[in-house]
A and B are shown apart, each in its own frame.
Chain A
Amino acid sequence: MKKLSYALIRCAPILGALLFFCTLPLYVRSDYILRVFVQIGIYVLLTSSLNIVNGYTGLFSVGHAAFFGLGAYGSAIVCTKLNLSFWQGLPTGMLIASLAAYVIAKPTLRLKGVFLTLVTMGSNMIIMLVFLNWDSLTGGSLGIMGIPMPEIFGTKFLRPLPYYYLIIVADILVIVLLDRLMRSRFGLTLKAIREDERAASCNGINVARYKTMAFVMAAVIAGAAGSFYAHYYRYISPEAFNFTESFIIVTMLAFGGPGNILGPVVGAAILVGVTEAFRAFADYRMVFYGTLLVLMMIFRSKGLLGGREYSLTITWPPVKKTVYSKGDRFLDTEKEENDEPAAG
């Protein structure tokens, strides 16, 4: 009983968020607002997955829309051609995205810095061109229409409400699991690679292997986001997954704060929200994003939430911090030690 109450207190922020978002439709009775939330939810998934690669592992991928597109097309194609349901399309999309990520990552993650960035950009373009030109499978520039909407217990998702719940659950699940993961040995290893790749390898970390794992994991989540997207809009076309889309995801992450578990949420919510609020100026969207990215890099290069990491759980019962007394023996040297080192 005591254990359970402790666990409840620890997870209070998560449960609070879950409660808030689940009851939100009771006060907000507008389908339009819910649609915006669904859109934000899809971008939160995408940005969170890019956060694994760009924020935690310190790579700079600008081709994330490729995996988003693979998830969407994979899911849409099996559902329309083989008459499968959303629940079968979703894992298929994730699988296809992860396989593609593995094939791209395996030979190229040995590259460093800007070369890797160029490879991710190129692979995004190649995958987009495949969508555009493989007419028999992808419908070419016409895209795929009539993607089935998800069903649960025989009820179709006709209005945005059930979709809203689906995406909220997916978002919270992904964020909570990533939060746990990034504070574990695995997450620490990724952070070590971000901080200093060569030092990481000298500390026993197989850098190429961990980079591949991070990349594939990000692709799996992006693939899931793609599948949600395809079955929500029920129509997909290649333009939705081009380089511009990747750039939007990168901007959201840079805006919110890379390497921070809540950065993607803040970035996606604000950027989608602002875009919706200024719908009349939709044509200038990319100008706005570009300007924002430039300004962020100048004034707050670590993103809105900065480089600090937040925990989603409360430490409970509170841990007493061990107080170390300063031994007298060392006090006399404390001052000179904190001075700048003498030359040589």
Chain B
Amino acid sequence: MSLLQVEKMCKDYGGLKALSGVSFSMEKGEIVSIIGPNGAGKTTLFDCLTGYIPKTSGKVVFDGTDITAYPPHDANKAGMARTFQQIRLFPNLTVMENLRVGMHSHTRGGIWAGIFHPAWYRKQEELCYRKGLAILALFQERLLPRVDQKVMELSYANRRRTEIARALASEPKLLLLDEPAAGMNPHETRLATDLIRELRDKGNTILFIEHDMSMVMSVSDRIVVLDHGVKIAEGPPSEIQKNEDVLEAYMGRREHAEA
């Protein structure tokens, strides 16, 4: 039983087919990366998976449940957490508050608990705080000293890290990272690669989009290649590197190149 099963996912924008019949599946504990030229439909695929935009057709089965029609908050509750290509944090909240919002799905407490702070609520908040620190510890000196800083005061790389931390805070069964190394320098990209490895060793399942080939080739178990909304290849890194279709999608046809 695979963790995620995507069947014939289609998304049309009027006449434009952003995704046409993309199918793939993921096992628990796997790291799968999605690559493809710009405009291939990678982010659209993420958006469709998490219910962020409605799908035209297709089916998503996640952890044995059909989540095709789930809105984003239900998809999150089911165990999917994502980051965005353009960072979408809560800029006026602190790092810890951002993480606390990430834990929304598996905590409770509405208006009454908020006003009266009963014992169970205080205990829950205490636990959340400690869990938040444990997650931030993954990023060590990068984020730990900045727990009470507003996110908008952080550097770009730290904001990316905070976003990953926020996604981890929801204890996801599947982590979807949209270009975790975008805009980072080679050193930071290396740190991000190490982080993804560390997350895998902790038993996380990760699906990520990335343009940095050194990162993609070194951490992924499998690669899915998209071009113009169609899956053109799937397989381990060594196979994808040799795949003719993939080369063509990235470099253009041989005769064109020679002409």
A residues touching B (Cβ–Cβ < 8 Å)?
Answer: 177, 180-181, 184-189, 191-192, 195-196, 198-207, 213, 217, 307, 324, 326-327, 329-330, 333, 336-338, 340-344
Dominant SS among interface residues on chain B: helix
Minimum CB–CB distance from B140 to chain A (whole Å) comes to: 7
With A186-B111, A203-B166, A324-B144: A196-B89 Cβ-Cβ less than 8 Å: yes
- The complex places the Cα of A184 from the Cα of B92 at a distance, in Å, of 16
Q: Scan residues 50-108 of chain B and give those whose CB is less than 8 A from a CB of chain A.
A: 50, 52, 71-73, 76-77, 81-82, 84, 88-93, 97, 100-102, 104-105, 107-108
Which residues does chain A contribute within 8 Å of B91, judged by CB atoms?
195-196
Which residues does chain B contribute within 8 Å of A196, judged by CB atoms?
88-91
Which residues does chain A contribute within 8 Å of B82, judged by CB atoms?
202
Which residues does chain A contribute within 8 Å of B84, judged by CB atoms?
199, 202
- The complex places the Cα of A207 from the Cα of B155 at a distance, in Å, of 28
B115 touches A181 (CB 8 A): yes
Closest to B212 in A: A344
- The complex places the Cα of A343 from the Cα of B185 at a distance, in Å, of 9
B residues touching A (Cβ–Cβ < 8 Å)?
Answer: 50, 52, 71-73, 76-77, 81-82, 84, 88-93, 97, 100-102, 104-105, 107-111, 113-115, 117, 121, 125, 140-142, 144-145, 155-158, 166, 170, 183-185, 187-188
- The complex places the Cα of A201 from the Cα of B74 at a distance, in Å, of 9
B111 touches A204 (CB 8 A): no
Pick 5 A–B contacts, CB within 8 A, sort by A: A184-B109, A188-B97, A191-B93, A202-B82, A337-B188
A330 touches B156 (CB 8 A): no
Which residues does chain B contribute within 8 Å of A338, judged by CB atoms?
155
Closest to A200 in B: B101
Q: Per a CB cutoff under 8 Å, which of A187, A195, A198, A205 touches B104?
A: A205
A341 touches B185 (CB 8 A): yes
With A191-B93, A192-B101, A195-B90: A201-B72 Cβ-Cβ less than 8 Å: yes
- The complex places the Cα of A333 from the Cα of B185 at a distance, in Å, of 11
Minimum CB–CB distance from B258 to chain A (whole Å) comes to: 27
Closest to A326 in B: B141
A336 touches B185 (CB 8 A): yes
B141 touches A324 (CB 8 A): yes
A327 touches B140 (CB 8 A): yes
A202 touches B52 (CB 8 A): yes
- The complex places the Cα of A341 from the Cα of B72 at a distance, in Å, of 30
Q: Per a CB cutoff under 8 Å, which of B71, B104, B108 touches A203?
A: B104
Other contacts beyond A177-B115, A188-B97: 17, CB < 8 A: A180-B114, A185-B100, A185-B113, A186-B113, A188-B93, A191-B97, A192-B90, A198-B52, A198-B72, A200-B90, A203-B102, A324-B141, A327-B141, A329-B141, A341-B156, A341-B184, A342-B185
Which residues does chain A contribute within 8 Å of B183, judged by CB atoms?
341-344
Minimum CB–CB distance from A67 to chain B (whole Å) comes to: 17
Which residues does chain A contribute within 8 Å of B97, judged by CB atoms?
188, 191
B88 touches A189 (CB 8 A): no
Which residues does chain A contribute within 8 Å of B185, judged by CB atoms?
336, 341-342
- The complex places the Cα of A206 from the Cα of B90 at a distance, in Å, of 16
Which residues does chain B contribute within 8 Å of A213, judged by CB atoms?
110-111
A204 touches B71 (CB 8 A): no
A188 touches B101 (CB 8 A): yes
Which residues does chain A contribute within 8 Å of B157, judged by CB atoms?
337, 341
Which residues does chain B contribute within 8 Å of A330, judged by CB atoms?
140-142
Which residues does chain B contribute within 8 Å of A343, judged by CB atoms?
183
Which residues does chain B contribute within 8 Å of A203, judged by CB atoms?
73, 76, 81, 101-102, 104-105, 166, 170
Q: Per a CB cutoff under 8 Å, which of B77, B92, B107, B109 touches A195?
A: B92
Q: Per a CB cutoff under 8 Å, which of B125, B140, B187 touches A336?
A: B187
Which residues does chain B contribute within 8 Å of A344, judged by CB atoms?
183
B101 touches A205 (CB 8 A): yes
B73 touches A204 (CB 8 A): yes
Which residues does chain B contribute within 8 Å of A201, judged by CB atoms?
52, 71-73
B72 touches A217 (CB 8 A): no
- The complex places the Cα of A330 from the Cα of B188 at a distance, in Å, of 11
Which residues does chain B contribute within 8 Å of A307, judged by CB atoms?
92
Which residues does chain B contribute within 8 Å of A342, judged by CB atoms?
183-185
A324 touches B145 (CB 8 A): yes
- The complex places the Cα of A180 from the Cα of B73 at a distance, in Å, of 26
A188 touches B141 (CB 8 A): no
With A186-B114, A195-B93: A204-B76 Cβ-Cβ less than 8 Å: yes
Which residues does chain B contribute within 8 Å of A177, judged by CB atoms?
115
Closest to B82 in A: A202
Minimum CB–CB distance from A55 to chain B (whole Å) comes to: 12
- The complex places the Cα of A192 from the Cα of B77 at a distance, in Å, of 17
Which residues does chain B contribute within 8 Å of A188, judged by CB atoms?
93, 97, 100-101
Minimum CB–CB distance from B182 to chain A (whole Å) comes to: 8
With A180-B114, A330-B140: A337-B101 Cβ-Cβ less than 8 Å: no
A184 touches B113 (CB 8 A): yes
Best-buried of A177, A203, A337 by chain B (most CB within 10 Å): A203
Which residues does chain A contribute within 8 Å of B100, judged by CB atoms?
185, 188
Minimum CB–CB distance from B157 to chain A (whole Å) comes to: 5
Closest to B150 in A: A307
